[in-house]
Structure 1
Amino acid sequence: MSRLWILIAFFFVYQAKANPLNPGPITFPKAEILNENTARIPFKLIDHLIVVEAELYNKKGNFIIDTGSETLILNKVHFPNQYRQPEKFVKSSGVLDNANAYEKYLEEFILKNFSLKNTNSHVIDLSHIEKRKKMNLMGIIGYSILKDYEVFVDMHLNQITLSRIDKKGDKLDPRGYLEKITDSIEFKLQNHSIVVNTLVGDEKMNFALDSGAEFNQLNNQQSKKVLKYFVPSKRMVLVGASDKKAEVLAGKLYRVKLSDKVYFGPMNTIITNLNRMSEAFGVNLDGVLGYEFFAQKRTIINYRKEMLYFIEYPINFQN
């Protein structure tokens, strides 16, 4: 049986406020600062994870960009007890099981000359991910950081552009993008999560958009009308938030589209139980769109307007 370790998203729900700490700022040394409101950050792909380099407490390392995570998550391995003051534990709900975390309060989160005040973070042991991905993992950047920006995830150039937005969702940087926006769709922000109306064949479904999902996911409770568009190929091992494992069926999902103009080629997908994820989102989820989505669509996310915008890939004239 073919096996592959998969990292999927973490879904964190606040249950208590932490006592204030006085940490140093987080900086992104490789960011290209266009102006005080816009920055481009190069990323690398580790397997199918979007990873940026950042520095915190004078330690450099990798952070995963994860739209499925509610908050900033710090790896307990790199931020041990010497940084802890009295705090309260919080619970996290993942796809497979629950994981224990404690909450830290960051007075300031800085992206070069970008600054976010009063940012919460969760601390959890992510050593099992470091081991399997063979990477130095400082943490995960989620919704609580990304929501204040229009976020352009560009798999063509391997970079993320963050442009600060106002309360209405309008960019503070008046300049447009260098390339033309060709399509757009609305989404529903459910708690911290992006939920899009999706068609698989002719079946209407709710899918979450999660940049931390290495493969698309389809709920194993779907009807045969939907599963007929899924072509299985092998079994794989799924790893959850607290290192719990489950065997899943993997293959390709066909006939996925968001509108008559926004559609996708076959996407690598796994069949799994999404009940816990649905509970975390507060909505019944039929599936998750992850790396495979961003690999086919250069995507701009605007949380406040609840809109996705798409920029086409350049035409490849090679035969």
Structure 2
Amino acid sequence: MKLNQLFYSIITLLVLLMSCAGSKIDKVLEQGNVLQENFKTTIPFTYVSGWIVLEVEIQGKAHNFILDTGSSNLITKEFAEELNSKVLGAEDIEDINDTANSTEYTRLSNIKIGNVDFKNTIAGIVDLNKITEIGCVKIDGFIGSNLMRRAVWDFDFQNQLITIANDESKLDIPSETIDSKMYIGTAGIPAVTVKINGQKVLNNTVDFGNGGTNLLRGDYFVKQRDANLITRYVRGTQKAFGGFGRTQDKTFYQTNIDELKIGNHTVNNIHARVKSGAGNNLGLAFFKNYRVILNWNKKKLRLIEITKAGNDSYKSYGFSTLFENEGIYVNRIVEMSSASQFLKQEDKIVRIDDTSYANITEEDYCGFYRDGYDNGTDTVSITVTREGKEFTFQLIKTELL
């Protein structure tokens, strides 16, 4: 089992150029067009640490970008320097932790994806590589919804193919689909309305940048918990990640939702996480069960069921890690788990089973983050240092939900 599957540790950036009402950035983000009038192209993509990574062409060179419908276009500071990007202005950006920063933005004259040329779209310039887990992916930026809104996007997650077309008529779509109205927010970021346990829940971001579990906003969780509509959950604490780094400890919950309805389609027993500062969010854990067509022009999300979503369980050792100060440290701890009985946040991990992590480089951590440490069993031996002393514990993977 990969580390991201085991700990749901994929980082949901949800970074976008946020603005106050009437701010000029709303209009700036609408800039851009497609050079071709009639087009259709199919491109492959890969999954890297849970993210969708695709190759694009900029200034005649190939570059790897993460595709994230929950974000606007972003490029790294290093790539902006390579392009000699002209800064058009600066605007407050807010990440998933409600951490704001004044961030510059630029115009990308052309991004070629397959045989389609996206012209003059806006991108924020963000120091993405300061988050180690993103730096591990070796990308130059994010393709976001302010670019994607110029076309129809058809995702075949099973075969790892994306088809981009100017019109749905160019796609082979079955007569029976699951349809939902798509609401378009700032930067073209799409959202849908769903029903959770019979109650309408607005503004569920369609977020392909979330390679982990779905997110439920805290106030919705509390309301449903108090009404006994949500009865199964476990609590934990962690340092959260956003576009501007990590926060101090925040409480989160893992829960199973009995019923989620999107359009006329019902999914039972679907897993979700409740995180401070996070909105409602459907990620790849849900959408990978479908062929997905996003049509910004018609404001429509279409799903073709491939596998059955839901019937989720949450089985975990109950901890996750982060890389800081040339070491691997315990980050997330889930109550009621095996880890909660033995580990403490900020324990330094020096050994897992027979592998030493006492002296580890950032490149070494990238391999650890990518591959995890599946030993084929539901037990793991972990050695940590705490206040100058070394401790070894045997952890058991436990079904918590």
Settle same-fold status: TM greater than 0.5.
yes
CA contact (8 A) 2:156 2:291 kept: yes
For 1:30, the equivalent position in structure 2 comes to none
Deviation at 1:208, TM superposition (A): 1.8
The answer to whether residue 201 in structure 2 is matched with residue 200 in structure 1 is: no
Distance 1:82 1:110 in 2: 15
Q: Residue type of the partner of 1:239?
A: F
- The alpha-carbon distance between structure 1 residues 16 and 307, as it changes in their structure 2 partners (threshold 3 A), is closer
Following superposition, the deviation at residue 181 of structure 1 comes to: 4.3
AA aligned to 1:199 is: K
Tell me which of the two structures has the higher relative contact order, counting C-alpha pairs closer than 8 angstroms and 6 or more residues apart: 1
CA displacement at 1:230 relative to structure 2 = 4.9
Return the offset for 1:228. 1.3
Displacement of 1:127? 0.3
> What's the offset of the Cα at 1:4?
3.6
The yes-or-no answer on 1:125 pairing with 2:127 is yes
Q: Name which of 207, 212, 222 aligns with 2:209.
A: 212
Q: What displacement does 1:37 show?
A: 0.8
Q: Within 5 A, what are the aligned runs for 1:43-122?
A: 43-57=45-59, 59-69=61-71, 71-80=72-81, 83-96=84-97, 97-122=99-124
Cα deviations across residues 63-117 of structure 1 (Å, max 9, x unaligned)? 1111111x32111123327613354222212121123421112222323432223
Residue of structure 1 in register with 2:30 after alignment: none
SS of 1:83's partner is coil
| Structure 2 partner of 1:299 | 292
Q: Which amino acid aligns with 1:11?
A: L
Asked if the contact 1:64–1:141 (Cα under 8 Å) also holds between the matched residues in 2, the reply is yes
Q: As a proportion of its length, which structure holds more helix?
A: 2
Q: Name the SS for the 1:79 alignment partner.
A: helix
Deviations 1:20-72 (A, max 9, x none): xxxxxxxxxxxxxxx95111121111232111122334554421111111x32
Counterpart residue identity of residue 198, structure 2: D
Q: Give the letter aligned to residue 296 of structure 1.
A: N
Percent identity of equivalent pairs = 18
Is the Cα–Cα contact under 8 Å of residues 130 and 136 in structure 1 kept in the other structure?
Answer: no
* 8 Å Cα contact 1:197/1:205 also seen in 2: yes
Q: How many residues align?
A: 279
Alignment of 1:1-319 (within 5 A): 4=9, 6-13=11-18, 37-57=39-59, 59-69=61-71, 71-80=72-81, 83-96=84-97, 97-129=99-131, 131-132=133-134, 134-165=136-167, 171=168, 174-177=169-172, 179-191=174-186, 192-206=188-202, 207-214=204-211, 215-222=213-220, 223=223, 224=225, 225=227, 228=230, 230-232=232-234, 235-245=237-247, 246-259=249-262, 261-274=264-277, 287-313=280-306
Deviations 1:222-248 (A, max 9, x none): 312376155337555431110123544
Does the 8 Å contact 2:56/2:112 carry over to 1? no
CA distance in 1, matches of 2:120, 2:135: 31
When residues 161 and 265 of structure 1 are mapped into structure 2, their CA distance, relative to the original with a 3 A threshold, is farther
1:128 Cα deviation after fit: 3.0
